[in-house]
Homo-oligomer: A and B are copies of this chain.
């Protein structure tokens, strides 16, 4: 059912293949940009059906990938990311239906005004063009990212990890089936049909202007490489070094619940807190937070004051303030009030997500203004840093840059805009 693996004999062959794919994607993007919401939704619906119908072949392909990875000595976490189950395939199909049901951003008029000469100017959303998605072992990204790009009217070129190659091909076959049923060009969702790692470098160079933006999905080393090499815009975050600042004016019980949730609800997500900052002014009341964390199974690495609370606290090194643990470990520091917290986050944060717990509205307002992060919260957990929690339905990732998209990148952020001007013969004096 899946396309045959292309034989790539040389780097010139690969460059030619990638060039062809990219030109076809550009042409498909033109068609998609003018496709109706109904047609795109019909494709998404058919894709969900095809994913379910192909479940057995997707799982069989995945079993081959997993067996190869196992024999190559992959660790348990890697194998978990790579492995599909009947349930995970069903979640993928449901994801396609969720994206089918979110509003189509394309064509939405976001502003409209009339000039003194009677011309009406509209700002209207249009697709971005061709999105390149470079991901690692999770094969579901092919369906999730491919479908979200489609909803926003963009063509997408998917390059999955070589370990998940067979799984991605099987999933891609189902997506292609959906495009065919809706009479949309198959090049709208292209999977790079080779495991050759040099394909990534070609994508990062932009394929002669035929890739408009790159979205990396994977670990820090992938994102770092993409950010340093890409010659086109990138939507990404390198890390989520998220902070909880518990202010002197915090409600201690609320602080306890927000700290535990921010750190421990899921430790491996980018919105998980990594550092807890506590206001020196209320240290006496707040220091039980340290024991609470330890009792909940979290390793605490702290400054001298924190160490004094409990013998199980390890001394934090300079490196701890800059470490995204993605694990049940937290760095804890006593700071001199709001100014100390802001200075610490300014120096060590990653502009991702930070929260303040306080009952003082002025402190909250200053924190929300002065912390230069994509998402700033007051009296809420950092774990809300997620497009689903924002109500976006789906996201392709979280961006910490300030250009174009920032925070959770949903369908709207995958569009650009144009100005439509309606006149009645106006000329400029």
- The chain A residues found within 8 Å of chain B, CB to CB, are 30, 33-34, 113, 115, 119, 121, 126, 128-129, 212-213, 233, 251, 254, 257-258, 260-262, 265, 364, 368-370, 372-381, 383-384, 389-391, 402-404, 406-407, 416-428
Contact = CB atoms under 8 A, between A and B. Distances in A.
A376 B124 CA distance: 11
A378 B428 contact: no
Contacts of A251: 425
Contact of A422 (B115, B213, B373, B378): B378
A252 to B, nearest CB: 12
B422 A418 contact: no
A228 to B, nearest CB: 10
A386 to B, nearest CB: 8
Contacts of A121: 390-391
Contacts of A428: 261, 265, 381, 383-384, 389
Contacts of A391: 113, 115, 121
A66 to B, nearest CB: 30
8 contacts: A258-B425, A372-B418, A375-B419, A380-B424, A383-B428, A384-B426, A403-B403, A406-B419
Nearest to A122: B368
Given A258-B427, A427-B265, A380 B119 contact: yes
A370 B32 CA distance: 11
Contacts of A212: 402-403
A404 B404 contact: yes
Nearest to A424: B379
Contacts of A233: 233, 403
Contacts of A254: 425
B421 A378 contact: yes
Contacts of A374: 418-419
Given A119-B380, A129-B402, A402-B129, A407 B425 contact: no
A426 B390 contact: no
Contacts of A372: 30, 33, 126, 418
A262 B370 CA distance: 46
Nearest to A382: B428
B416 A406 contact: yes
A310 B14 CA distance: 53
Contact of A420 (B115, B376, B389): B376
Contacts of A404: 403-404
A380 B375 CA distance: 42
A113 B402 CA distance: 22
A304 B261 CA distance: 74
A391 B120 CA distance: 11
A376 B122 CA distance: 10
A233 B377 CA distance: 29
Contacts of A260: 427
A343 to B, nearest CB: 12
B402 A128 contact: yes
B119 A427 contact: no
Contacts of A418: 372-376, 406-407
A260 B427 CA distance: 9
Contact of A419 (B113, B262, B376, B416): B376
Q: Which of A370, A373, A390 is the most central at the interface, judged by chain B CB atoms within 10 Å of its CB?
A: A390
A365 to B, nearest CB: 9
Please name the 4 residue pairs, one residue from A and one from B, whose CB atoms are nearest each other, closest first. A380-B423, A261-B427, A402-B416, A377-B421
A12 B389 CA distance: 50
A12 to B, nearest CB: 24
B427 A417 contact: no
Contacts of A370: 34
Contacts of A113: 391
A262 to B, nearest CB: 8
B380 A425 contact: yes
